[in-house]
């Protein structure tokens, strides 16, 4: 799916409405940002180009009217679409003063939303948004030209120069860290640090100290004061892989960091302001983890201002050949000190395989094939499980009595129909054997 050129910011403290709007708008091919509060919405507005604001009116702390007033003066060309459970005459007057193009009363249908969005975007105050081009950036590490990969590249264009949090989800081996690096190194913060942290590889009791640093004497073995990964990433990007493995205590600390933009070392009473971008990744189902009480829902929504889904390799088969050739070039030069080729019949086998281990499995496969080959990579260098298999039809499901009778007959055949011997092997008497054989 190719996104349209408009960016839409949705603001609502009801996360269910927020997710519903996001799904509807993405199905219409609009790119969405989402915020659960006015404070979060302002942060997104200041750091990204937004073409339409969709906001609720009644929200805690600061309501939607304050946001509309702010937008009408700071971004006078931005159209506003209001969604609300009920709109009074006074509120309608206030909305008119704030430049609201249209409003929807909850509940509304997807078609009603589509009509209102189109009306708002085509309103007299709307400027022509800039086109997004994918040719000016460096994506050497993101190999392929499938629709799924091109969609990821388009999202990267939109977030590379802002510090909104990004959540990358996908199976193991789908290249989530490569996507995170592409966000960082294609943007204006590329000269700043990129710090990658595997939350699943650090013992739970040490993770908080590693992330946020610690004071001397904070715990046994803390012989010096030390900065954490967050402090090391100042001005740049911290990539938190396997975020689903973070303990409840670390999740609480992360939530505070994202809300307050400050960190507190273990053993310290003092907080320090930080300026970094957080990109998190997970191969686990966070929705299930939230239901099971293992992951904080509010932290999930803080992390997923922008979401990127890394597709499994089986859903981007057109990228298998260029990826295989890239890995072939890499390992041929490393192991053989020369270039090598791969046959078209071999590529067909690779494209047919399901790749449960995704890109990482493909790389390992090519690496092994290079080692085992003296020339062109052919089917001979591939493991048998990659090659065509004959799936013989299975016998129909039989009853337990039928299976028992078959087994008894096998035993009788084995002992040349000696019923005494067969009964002894089966652990039954001759009378029972006769009854079962019939």
Determine the Cα–Cα distance for residues 166 and 236; give it in Å rounded to an integer.
Answer: 14
Q: What pLDDT is stored for residue 277 in this prediction?
A: 94
Confidence at residue 360, expressed as pLDDT on a 0 to 100 scale: 92
The set of residues, in sequence order, having a beta carbon less than 8 Å from that of 63 and lying 6+ positions away, is: 38, 57
More confident residue, 135 or 328: 328
Q: Say if CB 203 and CB 194 are below 8 A apart.
A: no
Find the mean pLDDT for residues 224-247.
Answer: 90
Q: Is the peptide bond before 107 cis (omega within 30 degrees of 0)?
A: yes
Phi, psi of 30, rounded to the nearest 5 degrees: -90, 150
Structure confidence by residue, pLDDT tens digits, 359-378: 999 999 999 999 988 888 99
What 8-state DSSP symbol labels residue 232?
H
- pLDDT tops 70 at residue 231: yes
Least confident of 61-65, 116-120, 289-293, 312-316: 61-65
Grade residue 137 by pLDDT with cuts at 50, 70 and 90: very low
Only one residue has tokens 């459970």, namely 85
402 membership: H or E segment, kind and range: helix 400-414
Residue 237 tokens read as: 């990007």
Half-sphere exposure of 87 (CA within 13 A, CB side): 21
Among candidate residues 227, 149, 215, the one with its CA nearest the CA of residue 182: 149
pLDDT of 126: 43
Query: What local confidence, expressed as pLDDT, does residue 133 receive?
Result: 38
What's the whole-model pTM score? 0.63
Both tokens assigned to 401: 């009595």
The percentage of the chain sitting over the pLDDT mark of 90, rounded to a whole number, equals 35
The structural domains of the chain, ordered by start, are 7-121 (3.40.50.2300), 147-311 (3.40.50.300), 322-386 (1.10.8.60), 400-437 (1.10.10)
Q: With a cut of 70, say whether residue 88 has pLDDT above it.
A: no
For residue 70, pLDDT beyond 90 = no
Least confident residue range of 171-175, 224-228, 282-286, 327-331: 224-228
pLDDT computed for residue 306 by the predictor: 92
Greater confidence, 308 or 93? 308
In contact, 60 and 13? CB cutoff 8 Å? yes
Which of 95-109, 120-134, 235-249, 412-426: highest mean pLDDT?
235-249
If pLDDT is split at 50, 70 and 90, which confidence band does 130 have? Answer: very low
Q: Is the pLDDT of residue 135 over 50?
A: no
Report helix, strand or coil for 325.
helix
Better-scored residue on pLDDT, 108 or 2: 108
Return the number of other C-beta atoms located less than 10 Å from residue 419's C-beta.
13
What are the residues whose beta carbons fall under 8 Å from the beta carbon of 155, sequence distance 6 or more? 3, 31, 306, 308
| Other beta carbons less than 10 A from residue 375's beta carbon | 9
> What pLDDT is stored for residue 95 in this prediction?
63
The gap between the terminal CA atoms of the chain, to the nearest Å, is 65
Residue 123, helix vs strand vs coil: coil
Cα separation, 156 vs 357, whole angstroms: 24
- Rounded to whole angstroms, how far apart are CA atoms 321 and 76? 49
> For the segment 31-53, what is each residue's pLDDT rounded down to a tens digit?
999 998 888 888 888 878 899 99
Average pLDDT over every residue of 414-418: 80
- More confidently predicted of 377 and 126: 377
Q: How confident is the model at residue 351 (pLDDT cuts 50, 70, 90)?
A: very high
Q: What pLDDT, on a 0 to 100 scale, did the predictor assign at position 209?
A: 87
| 320-331 and 358-372 helices, crossing angle to 10° | 50
- Mean pLDDT (whole number) for 370-387: 87
**Where residue 136 falls among pLDDT bands split at 50, 70, 90?**
very low
Confidence of residue 87 (pLDDT cuts 50, 70, 90): low
The pairing of beta strand 166-170 with beta strand 306-310: parallel
Q: What is the pLDDT of residues 182-208, one digit of tens each?
A: 999 888 888 899 999 998 888 877 888
User: Mean pLDDT, to the nearest integer, of 158-162?
Assistant: 90
pLDDT value for 123: 63
Residue 317 is classified by DSSP as G
Residue 14 has pLDDT above 60, yes or no: yes
What distance lies between CA 187 and its chain's CA centroid?
20
How far apart are alpha carbons 254 and 98 in whole angstroms?
36
Residues 342-371, mean pLDDT to the nearest whole number:
92
Position with higher pLDDT, 92 vs 144:
144
Collapsing DSSP to helix, strand or coil, 74 comes out as helix
Check residue 86 and report its DSSP letter: -
Share of the chain above pLDDT 70, in %: 89
Quote the pLDDT of residue 339: 86
């Amino acid at each position: 799916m190719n996104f349209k050129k408009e960016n839409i910011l949705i603001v609502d403290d009801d996360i269910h409405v927020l997710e519903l709007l996001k799904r509807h708008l993405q199905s219409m091919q609009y790119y969405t940002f989402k915020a659960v509060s006015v404070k979060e919405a302002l942060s997104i507005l200041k750091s990204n180009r937004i073409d339409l604001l969709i906001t609720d009116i009644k929200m805690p702390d600061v309501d939607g009217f304050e946001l509309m007033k702010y937008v009408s003066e700071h971004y006078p060309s931005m159209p506003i679409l209001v969604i609300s459970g009920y709109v009074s005459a006074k509120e309608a007057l206030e909305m008119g003063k704030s430049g609201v193009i249209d409003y929807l009363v909850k509940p509304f249908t997807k078609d009603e939303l589509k009509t209102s969005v189109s009306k708002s975007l085509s309103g007299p105050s709307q400027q022509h948004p800039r086109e997004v081009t994918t040719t000016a950036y460096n994506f050497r590490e993101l190999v392929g030209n499938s629709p799924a990969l091109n969609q990821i590249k388009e999202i990267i264009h939109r977030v590379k120069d802002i510090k909104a949090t990004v959540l990358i989800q996908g199976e193991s081996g789908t290249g989530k860290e490569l996507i995170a690096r592409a966000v960082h190194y294609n943007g204006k913060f590329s000269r700043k640090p990129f710090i990658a942290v595997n939350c699943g590889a650090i013992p739970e009791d040490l993770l908080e100290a590693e992330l946020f640093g610690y004071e001397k004497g904070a715990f046994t073995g803390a012989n010096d004061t030390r900065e954490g990964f967050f402090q090391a990433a100042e001005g740049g990007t911290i990539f938190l892989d396997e975020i689903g493995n973070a303990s409840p205590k670390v999740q609480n600390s992360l939530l505070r960091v994202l809300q307050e933009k400050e960190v507190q070392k273990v053993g310290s009473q003092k907080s320090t302001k930080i300026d970094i971008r957080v990109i998190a990744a997970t191969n686990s189902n966070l929705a299930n983890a939230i239901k099971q009480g293992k992951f904080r829902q509010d932290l999930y929504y803080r992390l997923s201002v922008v979401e990127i889904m890394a597709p499994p390799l089986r859903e981007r088969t057109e990228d298998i050949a260029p990826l295989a050739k890239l890995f072939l070039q890499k390992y041929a030069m490393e192991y053989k000190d020369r270039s090598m080729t791969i046959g078209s019949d071999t590529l067909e086998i690779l494209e047919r395989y399901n790749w449960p281990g995704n890109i990482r499995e493909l790389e390992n496969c090519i690496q092994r094939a290079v080692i085992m080959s003296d020339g062109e990579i052919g089917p001979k260098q591939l493991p048998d499980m990659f090659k065509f298999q004959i799936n013989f039809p299975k016998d129909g499901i039989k009853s337990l009595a039928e299976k028992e009778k078959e087994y008894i007959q096998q035993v009788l055949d084995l002992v040349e129909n000696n019923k005494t011997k067969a009964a002894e092997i089966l652990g039954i008497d001759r009378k029972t054997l006769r009854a079962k054989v019939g």
